[in-house]
């Protein structure tokens, strides 16, 4: 078996050592592809490389993207090939980031830190996660990981999901409408895939239905939120804060209003980062590679019609 890949030097060394009967061939992300570059598998990240169509025609039957979201991959090129992704592989890092953002909001960090003597000691106007309600838009691997940690803080956890499947966690309440989730939630985590159906899911109409003073956290994709509508909701105080790890576009250009808005906490799509993050991202591919060698069904298969 031959695996074509777009990974940087050294990134695949542990997997190459594990699969000594598999040939791994690094191919350019753009420009000419060597004439002898062909393979059964393409390992890539979900970015529309200019030479992707030609590369897929080099014998590729299975494509694996090293992320949960596949919205950057031109699905019209997939044809009848199988695609898998590293669904939920970043759940630990992202869920910890979400809890950090919620605690930062409730505990007024970093404003509570002292640089000079305060007017008074022993008291502050701080909130708590205890007794608050978390609304999860999406209950896949990431949403479930956030829910597990929120339940440990004695939060009420609501979740809206695409299917009627029950919650994988005891204590999570499944709601059937976005309106209900927004009306009841103090903290709202956007953890749904980016598809045509979820584009600007949070727009002026839906944001108006959110609980006054709500805190929105987006770790999914920037285009799930209408950023103009979000700005208006922040300016009038209806939304108290937006903690955004994903925005539209990425990278965000210099001078964009999101950099300077006092009620926005912005990070550069880094919530997934942690010491073992790359190992977690590659583990689903390695497991599936073993399944393919063993003639077993692959896991984490993407449904192109649902774009997820």
Task: Decide if 134 contacts 157 (C-beta within 8 A).
Answer: yes
Question: So what's the pLDDT on residue 152?
Answer: 98
- Confirm whether 305 is domain-assigned: no
Query: Is 224 part of any domain?
Result: yes
**What are the distances in angstroms from CA 301 to CA 2, 86, 139?**
20, 9, 17
In a domain, 302, yes or no: no
- Give the model's pLDDT for residue 49: 80
**What gap in Å lies between CA 207 and CA 303, rounded to an integer?**
29
308 located within any domain: no
Do 84 and 99 fall into the same domain?
no
pLDDT tens digits along 81-99: 999 999 999 999 999 999 9
Is residue 173 reached through a cis peptide bond, with omega within 30 degrees of 0 on the bond before it? no
Are residue 152 and residue 58 in the same domain, yes or no? no
Which residues of the chain are under the pLDDT cut of 70?
none
Looking at the fold, whether 67 and 145 belong to one and the same domain comes out as no
Residue 9's pLDDT is: 80
Q: Is residue 306 part of a domain?
A: no
Residues 154 and 231 in one domain: yes
* Closest listed residue to residue 18, CA positions, set 295, 299, 297, 283: 283
- Judge if 18 and 165 occupy the same domain: no
Structure tokens at 268: 């550069």
Total domains in the fold of the chain: 2
Same domain, 128 and 158: yes
Same domain, 176 and 55: no
Among all residues, which ones are annotated catalytic?
221, 250, 269
Query: 43 with 164, same domain?
Result: no
Residue 258 sits in the same domain as residue 182: yes
Domain region containing 207: 91-266
Does some domain include residue 154?
yes
- Give yes or no: residues 40 and 169 share one domain: no
pLDDT of residue 56: 95
154: left (phi over 0), alpha (psi -120 to 50) or beta: left
Both 100 and 138 in a single domain?
Answer: yes
CATH of the domain at 190: 3.40.50.720
5/259 Cα distance (integer angstroms): 35
Judgement on whether residues 144 and 244 belong to the same structural domain of the protein: yes
């Amino acid at each position: 078996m031959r695996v074509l890949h777009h990974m940087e030097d050294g990134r695949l060394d542990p997997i190459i050592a594990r699969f000594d009967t598999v040939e791994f061939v690094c191919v350019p992300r753009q420009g000419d592809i060597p004439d002898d570059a062909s393979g059964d598998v393409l390992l890539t990240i979900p970015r529309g490389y200019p030479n992707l169509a030609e590369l897929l025609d080099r014998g590729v039957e299975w494509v694996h993207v090293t992320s949960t979201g596949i919205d950057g991959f031109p699905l019209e090129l997939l044809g009848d090939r199988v695609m898998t992704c590293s669904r939920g592989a970043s759940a630990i890092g992202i869920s910890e980031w979400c809890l950090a953002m919620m605690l930062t909001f409730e505990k007024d960090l970093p404003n509570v830190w002292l640089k000079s003597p305060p007017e008074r000691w022993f008291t502050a106007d701080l909130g708590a996660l205890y007794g608050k309600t978390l609304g999860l838009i999406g209950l896949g691997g990431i949403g479930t990981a956030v829910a597990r940690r929120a339940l440990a803080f004695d939060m009420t956890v609501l979740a809206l999901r695409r299917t009627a499947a029950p919650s994988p966690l005891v204590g999570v309440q499944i709601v059937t409408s976005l309106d209900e989730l927004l009306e009841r939630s103090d903290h709202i985590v956007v953890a749904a895939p980016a598809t045509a159906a979820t584009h600007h899911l949070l727009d002026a109409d839906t944001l108006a239905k959110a609980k006054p003073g709500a805190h929105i956290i987006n770790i999914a994709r920037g285009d799930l939120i209408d950023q103009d509508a979000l700005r208006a909701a922040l300016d009038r105080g209806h939304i108290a804060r937006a903690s955004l790890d994903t925005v539209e576009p990425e990278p965000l250009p210099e001078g964009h209003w999101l950099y300077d808005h006092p009620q926005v906490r912005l990070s550069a799509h880094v919530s997934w980062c942690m010491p073992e993050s790359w190992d977690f991202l590659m583990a689903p591919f390695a497991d599936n590679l073993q399944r393919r060698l063993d003639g077993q069904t692959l896991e984490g298969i993407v449904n192109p019609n649902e774009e997820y």
